[in-house]
């Protein structure tokens, strides 16, 4: 007897788990969807996911550890920003994705850029702190006094 294959449902999901490394630690990125996840790539604060779907109505759920992307996060599917449902607890973002179109799609999740650290001179109450300057002057006077003392001691010997 021949068997005929039929899709189970547009709502049936496949679970895929990827490990992403952030600051030397590995975090699981879990995706359940009626599409196939081909690859996941994390570069800085930009998570790129390649998806292949044979259905026109795509539905998926993702669990993204909070350490993977910085807030606020934005979502783009095929370079178009979209706004999925996002829930959050103290460990993960739980994202519900719905988008249309079969074929290959690129999902990009971006977060806020890393804060830049700028070194600048600290001004307190509108004035530059003089402590480093005063300490340098004291050190120079001390060294000068010691040199003068040694020179006089050598002459008297």
Tokens (6 digits) for 24: 């030397």
| pLDDT (tens digit per residue) in 14-27 | 888 888 888 888 88
Beta strands in 5-155 (DSSP E): 14-22, 25-33, 36-43, 46-53, 57-65, 74-77, 80-82, 85-88, 92-100, 103-110
Place of tokens 């930009």: 46
- Angle CA 94–96–98, to nearest 5: 160
| pLDDT (tens digit per residue) in 97-136 | 999 999 999 999 998 655 444 444 444 455 555 566 666 7
Peptide bond into 72 cis (omega under 30): yes
| pLDDT (tens digit per residue) in 66-78 | 888 878 899 999 9
| pLDDT (tens digit per residue) in 42-53 | 888 899 999 999
pTM here is 0.63
Across the range 136-144, mean pLDDT stands at 79
* 89 within 8 A of 130, measured Cβ to Cβ: no
Determine the distance from the C-alpha atom of residue 103 to the mean position of all C-alpha atoms in its chain, rounded to a whole number. 28
């Amino acid at each position: 007897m021949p068997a005929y294959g039929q899709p189970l449902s547009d709502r049936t999901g496949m679970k895929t788990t990827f490990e992403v490394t952030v600051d030397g630690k590995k975090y699981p990125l879990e995706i359940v969807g009626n599409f196939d996840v081909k690859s996941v790539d994390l570069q800085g604060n930009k998570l790129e996911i390649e998806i292949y779907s044979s259905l026109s109505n795509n539905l998926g759920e993702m669990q993204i550890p909070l350490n993977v992307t910085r807030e606020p996060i934005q979502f783009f599917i095929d370079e178009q920003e979209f706004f999925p449902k996002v829930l959050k607890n103290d460990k993960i973002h739980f994202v519900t994705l719905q988008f249309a179109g079969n074929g290959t799609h690129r999902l990009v999740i971006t977060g806020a850029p890393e804060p830049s650290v700028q070194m600048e001179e600290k001004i307190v109450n509108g004035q530059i702190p003089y402590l480093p300057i005063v300490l340098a002057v004291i050190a120079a006077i001390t060294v000068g006094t010691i040199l003068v003392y040694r020179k006089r001691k050598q002459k008297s010997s």
